Amino acid sequence: MHIEKLIKMANQIGAFFEAMPDRTQAMKDIASHIQRTWDPAMRATLLAHLDTQAEADIGLKPIVDEAVRSHRKALEAPT
């Protein structure tokens, strides 16, 4: 799946939760939303993108980047 589309989707999710006053909770909600609605392959593609791209090229909003990294375990596809 095209990573550009996944990045856009993740950033859109981030834009909604970013407005919440509790940043920690917002990051949890971002990760939870992705985990609960994205197919594991989509999540894996996003995580692989994070692993392989230089920071400047990742393209995620900071809050999304941080949410994905800090909740990585929950987002990983089941083995």
Minimum distance, C-beta of residue 13 to other proteins, in the bound complex (Å): 5
Which of 23, 52, 53, 77 lies at the binding interface for other proteins (CB under 8 A)? 77
Q: Is the Cβ–Cβ distance between 25 and 61 less than 8 Å?
A: no
Which of 15, 23, 24, 52 lies at the binding interface for other proteins (CB under 8 A)? 15
Residue 45: other Cβ atoms inside 10 A? 17
Which of 23, 27, 31, 42 lies at the binding interface for other proteins (CB under 8 A)? 42
The first and second tokens of residue 66, run together, are: 């941080």
Does the protein bind other proteins through residue 48 (CB under 8 A)?
no
Nearer to other proteins, 32 or 70 (CB): 32
